[in-house]
Amino acid sequence: MKMKLTVLLLLFFIVILGACNASNNEEELIDGETENTITEEVLTVVTTTFVLEDFTRKIGGEHVDVINVVPLGADAHSFEPTARQMIEIMEADAFVYNGAGFEGFVDAVLKSMEKEDVVALQASNNIPLREDDDEHVDVHEEDEHSDENLDVHEEDEHLHAGVDPHAWLDPVYALQYAKNIYDLLVQLQPEFEEQFTENYTNLKIELENLHVEFEEMVSTAERNQFIVSHAGYGYWEQRYGLEQIAISGLSPTNEPSQRQVEEILELGQSLNLTHLFVEQNFTSKIAEMIADEIGADILYLHNLEAATQEDIDNGENYISIMRGNIEALKQGLNK
Ligand SMILES: [Zn+2]
């Protein structure tokens, strides 16, 4: 009996001691965290695309460190983060991604983040996303006002698999991206609201000017159709009436069928297209073959998904790259 009591008492002390330790640890943790929020003035934000990286830097200024996980020149659609990058994301203050099905890896990241203290922002929030018309070749035939019009619409109806994630290429929607990032930064660091507001306002003015420049370019263009390596430019159709004839689907890995390639060839020939656009972050052998076949010159469009080393060396940003796109279109949409 005595033995039992001693054991019980011992157990009791162990439990009490354990509890004290635990609460001490907790207190230390809470103290540590409070200290961190007061002293740590620079936020770490992890982004997935060049446009998100650029906007976060622009609005956050010196108060934000931005790490972009997708390497230079890579294809963010099919990119997979390394284990080290996953840790980098989990240790950040915020994770800013495009969403809308753009980054194939994002669901896995969001799942791992559930228990972490990272704020996630889907930057395409509050944007009316266009539906994914995966039959990128057929849909453009619709604009020829042919007898097939009805067929195309019928076909469209069962192709609503998802949405087109490339909304940032429309400067008006890009402003909404900027607003979403601005709101996030103010939420995380309200003490710097004034600076963030000033930076955001400057970016807003630049984006509004860019929209006007885009409209001006389109108003003087001789044509409104263009062939491009992947279907990243659907938002220009909606906003400016420019029609992409895309070789690959919404993701560059969605390669066209032989029939689709033939259709693009025919379309390019019948429209007498003198130029064909390829992009900065992946090569398209099919695009080069089509250009060769229809006797078109190759021009570059930048989809802003990922920057190249050259972009970084030249200090390029969203605005300067979009101006480059406007210049390329000026050439490509005129005979
Ligand atoms: Zn894309």
CATH at residue 114: 3.40.50.1980
Q: Which stretches of the chain score pLDDT less than 50?
A: 1-3, 5, 7-39, 135-161
Q: In the prediction, which pLDDT does 282 show?
A: 78
- Asked, for residue 146, whether it belongs to a domain, the answer is no
Say whether both 226 and 121 belong to one domain. no
Say whether both 178 and 234 belong to one domain. no
Q: In the prediction, which pLDDT does 335 show?
A: 80
Say whether both 59 and 107 belong to one domain. yes
State the virtual CA torsion across 47, 52, 53, 55 in degrees, nearest 10: -140
**Ligand 1: centre distance to CA 197 (Å):** 30
Q: Count Cα neighbours of 274 within 13 Å in the Cβ-side half-sphere.
A: 11
Last residue of a domain, one of 205, 231, 265: 205
Last residue of a domain, one of 172, 205, 238: 205
How is residue 296 annotated by DSSP? P
- How far apart are the C-alpha atoms of 177 and 56, rounded to whole Å? 10
Amino acid (1-letter code) at residue 213: E
**Ligand 1: centre distance to CA 73 (Å):** 13
Residue pLDDT, tens place only, 125-144: 999 999 976 544 443 333 33
Q: In the prediction, which pLDDT does 153 show?
A: 35
Q: In the prediction, which pLDDT does 21 show?
A: 42
Q: In the prediction, which pLDDT does 309 show?
A: 95
How is residue 256 annotated by DSSP? P
Query: How many Cβ atoms are within 10 Å of 111's Cβ, its own excluded?
Result: 9
Say whether both 168 and 245 belong to one domain. no
In the chain, at which residue ranges do the beta strands (DSSP E only) sit? Answer: 43-47, 64-68, 94-97, 119-122, 225-230, 243-248, 275-279, 297-301
Helix axes 285-294, 258-270, angle to 10 degrees: 40
- Asked, for residue 262, whether it belongs to a domain, the answer is yes
**Ligand 1: centre distance to CA 124 (Å):** 14
Query: φ, ψ for residue 261 (rounded to 5)?
Result: -60, -45
- Asked, for residue 32, whether it belongs to a domain, the answer is no
- Asked, for residue 241, whether it belongs to a domain, the answer is yes
- How far apart are the C-alpha atoms of 293 and 291, rounded to whole Å? 5
Domain tally, the chain: 2
Q: In the prediction, which pLDDT does 26 show?
A: 39
Residue pLDDT, tens place only, 252-276: 888 899 999 999 999 999 999 999 9
Q: In the prediction, which pLDDT does 223 show?
A: 96
Say whether both 183 and 265 belong to one domain. no
Say whether both 99 and 177 belong to one domain. yes
**Ligand 1: centre distance to CA 165 (Å):** 8
Contact partners, residue 290, CB within 8 Å, separation at least 6: 227, 247, 261, 264, 265, 268, 276, 296
Q: In the prediction, which pLDDT does 136 show?
A: 46
Say whether both 234 and 329 belong to one domain. yes
- Asked, for residue 2, whether it belongs to a domain, the answer is no
**Ligand 1: centre distance to CA 325 (Å):** 15
**Ligand 1: centre distance to CA 99 (Å):** 12
Say whether both 177 and 238 belong to one domain. no
- Asked, for residue 141, whether it belongs to a domain, the answer is no
Domain that holds residue 300: 221-333
Say whether both 287 and 227 belong to one domain. yes
**Ligand 1: centre distance to CA 294 (Å):** 25
